[in-house]
Structure 1
Amino acid sequence: QTFTTEVLSNEMKAILQQVADDNDIVIEKMEVMPDHIHMLISFPPSKAPASAIKALKGRSAYIFLQNHPEIRCSQYWGGHLWSPSYYMSKLGNMSKEVVEKYINDQKYTETNKKPHKGAQ
């Protein structure tokens, strides 16, 4: 888990916002979890979805790890901040408000989970 403090979480939010601004990506909603991020983004139809994700993940990792070289040594992905995988879905028949609520609820749900039986 990397984003374990509010300072680190807020730093990643600021980095992602800057990367988005630089790449014509609008972050509609974002929650930084300890080990992953939920985002609702929009971008011009001329931009391929994979290139939007590549820009966000690649540049944010570069900036964050420049600021925190000690974290690079402790990551699971061979010194990389993000795993190579991601999940992306179009809104489809869901409203933007439903997705925003889902993202909001993730922060509440994951921070209030009870430990599994036998967990230390």
Structure 2
Amino acid sequence: MVFPVKYRKTLLDEEMVQIITETAREISKRYDMEFERIGCDGNHIHLLCTAHPKIAPGQIGRAFKSITARNIPA
């Protein structure tokens, strides 16, 4: 999955990447999934994850986006 930053602005710095990585660990504990690789560039995030077949890719994306949005400071 790839999640771009709005308008492709370069906003992801080291602190943001650390918050995103920690949040991904929390999500994988809470849900039945595992993030195998997380790659961040300045304007987008790559996720490689495995999950139970009952979990739709849209649910994974929705959970990741909503939880990370709450954890990133404004």
What is the TM-score when the length of structure 1 is the normalising length? 0.49
Partner of 1:43: 51
Q: Percent identity?
A: 20
Partner of 1:17: 25
| Structure 2 residues without counterparts, runs of 5 or longer | 1-9
**Counterpart of 1:50 in 2: which secondary structure?**
helix
What is the TM-score when the length of structure 2 is the normalising length? 0.75
Q: How many residues align?
A: 65
Query: Max radius of gyration: which structure?
Result: 1
- Select the residue among 49, 52, 58 that pairs with 2:60: 52
Moved over 4 A (4+): none
**Counterpart of 1:45 in 2: which secondary structure?**
coil
Q: Cα RMSD over matched residues?
A: 1.3
Query: Whose RCO is larger (CA < 8 A, sep 6+)?
Result: 2
Judging by fraction of residues, say which structure has more strand. 2
- Select the residue among 4, 9, 12 that pairs with 1:3: 12
| Structure 1 residues without counterparts, runs of 5 or longer | 70-120
